[in-house]
Amino acid sequence: MQPDLLNHAHIASVLQHFRTHSTLVHCMTNDVVQTFTANVLLALGASPAMVIEREEAVQFSAIADALLVNVGTLTADRADAMRAAIHSANEAGKPWTLDPVAVGALDFRSRFCREILSLHPAAIRGNASEIMALAGVSAGGRGVDTTDSASAARPAAEQLARETGAVVAVTGEVDYVTDGNRTLKVIGGAPIMTRIVGTGCALSAVVAASCALPGERLVNVAAASGLFAQAGGEAASESRGPGSFVAAFLDALYHLDGGALA
């Protein structure tokens, strides 16, 4: 199955939905990226909330429009809270997204992520090594860093999508987004995005938000990657290094123009 290139009109349409729906995203994400993730969602027009305590997470996941489960700083208590929040979201009919940070490289999080795959994620977003490890076709990367290319991970992503029913996004030098039957290819971005902590984690939050928007989920998730690629390319051309890139990237997300994208 050859991937189709994502249509820019689809990115523009999903951007408009972001701006008009103000999706409330429950982010159970890692400690390193919470502020950046919140700012990215706000720049696109979504509404972030970081609720981690188990009792509150169970309550809030039923209220929010979408749930993100990111295992970057996983602990036993957080795993319990995440598991309970997923059950609550499922009961309320709210989509949840998995970011399997460093799966394959570390045993505890690998076991946990493989366990919760049975709880029907709407989407999974990871780098090539994470997706391949989650699909059971490799041992994983070097911590949070991938040692594989996105193109090499595309078959594993398609397999994982078919097995779980989730839309799977494998991101890297090129992004591939698949539902197991159809795959979309997203190009753009900039190498400097790999020098900023949290770009992948923040993208997973945007993917989670996109799953709650109107339209086809495959297209919505691919468009989330497209928005990041577009803003990343613009920010890279205006920044002098990682520090100025962060500010330029948030500004680029905020000023994305649907008409120009279309």
Structure tokens at 247: 């500010």
Tens-place pLDDT, residues 146-178: 557 889 999 999 999 999 999 999 999 899 999
4: β partners: 184
Question: Which token pair is 142?
Answer: 């070097």
132 is an annotated ligand-binding site residue: no
97 is known to lie in a ligand binding site: no
> What local confidence, expressed as pLDDT, does residue 1 receive?
65
Q: What is the pLDDT of residue 33?
A: 97
What are the DSSP calls for 55-110, one per residue?
Answer: HHHHHHHHHSSEEEEE-TT--HHHHHHHHHHHHHHHHHT--EEEE-TTBTTBHHHH
Determine if residue 28 is labeled as part of a ligand binding site.
no
183: which strand partners?
178
Provide mean pLDDT across the span 7-28: 95
pLDDT digits (tens, 9 = 90+) for 27-76: 999 999 999 999 999 999 999 999 999 999 999 999 999 999 999 999 99
Q: Is 125 annotated as a binding residue?
A: yes
Q: What is the pTM assigned to this prediction?
A: 0.94
What CATH class has 4-260? alpha beta
Radius of gyration in angstroms for the set of CA atoms belonging to the chain, rounded to a whole number: 16
Task: Compute the Cα dihedral for 13, 96, 26, 173 and give only its sign.
Answer: negative
Average pLDDT, the chain: 94
CA separation, residue 25 to residues 18, 49, 54, 66, 195 (Å): 12, 6, 17, 5, 26
Domain map (residue ranges) of the chain: 4-260
